[in-house]
Chains A and B, each alone.
Chain A
Amino acid sequence: GAVVSQHPSWVICKSGTSVKIECRSLDFQATTMFWYRQFPKQSLMLMATSNEGSKATYEQGVEKDKFLINHASLTLSTLTVTSAHPEDSSFYICSARSRYGPNTGELFFGEGSRLTVL
């Protein structure tokens, strides 16, 4: 099956620093990747849609300058949390759709990255 890998799986940083999270599709090409955020005991909230070769599309209420998304290739998207603050602590999950195959909307998910900002 399609595999999506995230790195790092967990990171602790100081307030004010920036953190980059990578999302890779290991065995398929993904023109579209989605970044979600999951708070404890809550559902996944879509943050942005990452399109290869173009600017990301952000959901309402998500700060573009705070959460920088780069989709440099068909297998890699990165999320950079800039000037992180404790309220940014969360579980960030990326997902990807295969470039080929039926357009059923199925997504393949990464393992998630837990960010803790001190």
Chain B
Amino acid sequence: AQSVSQHNHHVILSEAASLELGCNYSYGGTVNLFWYVQYPGQHLQLLLKYFSGDPLVKGIKGFEAEFIKSKFSFNLRKPSVQWSDTAEYFCAVSRPMDTGRRALTFGSGTRLQVQP
């Protein structure tokens, strides 16, 4: 069965530190990859997505992610975090379903805490 693994469950950083959150998936076919963010008390929001082309994807709020096909990875990065980046981050992969439509499979999430 396909799975999405996020290895960092809880990350604590100081402001201005660099961030990298790991994400690996096990599905071997064509995939679309996403990072979603959930700020405290808010709904999920899309940070960035990859479906083809340049494997280095830039998203909102200074985030970027790199798709490395050989490693089945899609790690999220940000050069300098801010206190406002404190949130839960979810990696997600779309998978084909028996009807041909695609749902998302989510990783377990990484809680990022940025200290001022």
For the complex, give the distance between the alpha carbons of A115 and B102 in Å: 27
Asked if B71 is at the interface (CB within 8 A of a chain A CB), the reply is no
The binding surface of chain B is classed by DSSP as: strand
For residue B68, CB closer than 8 A to chain A, the reply is no
Chain B contributes a number of interface residues (CB within 8 A of A) equal to: 25
In Å, the complex CA distance between A40 and B92 comes to 18
Closest to B94 in A: A105
How many Å lie between the Cα of A107 and that of B105 in the bound state?
Answer: 11
Cβ contacts under 8 Å, A111 to chain B? 42-43
* CB <8 Å contact, A43 and B106: yes
Q: A43-B106, A105-B51 are in contact. Are A93 and B44 (CB under 8 A)?
A: yes
Residues of A whose CB lies within 8 Å of any CB of B are: 32, 34, 36, 41-46, 49, 51, 57, 93, 95, 97, 102-107, 109-112
CA distance A11 to B36 in the complex (A): 25
Expressed in whole angstroms, the minimum distance between the Cβ of B72 and any Cβ of chain A is 17
* Shortest Cβ distance from A32 into B: residue: B101
A44-B44, A93-B43 known, 6 other contacts, Cβ within 8 Å: A46-B104, A51-B101, A93-B44, A95-B44, A105-B104, A106-B46
Q: Does B90 contact A (CB under 8 A)?
A: yes
CB distance A105 to B102 under 8 Å? Answer: yes
Task: Identify the 3 closest CB pairs spanning chains A and B, nearest first.
Answer: A105-B94, A105-B32, A109-B44
Which residues of chain B (95-116) have a CB below 8 Å from chain A?
97-99, 101-109, 111
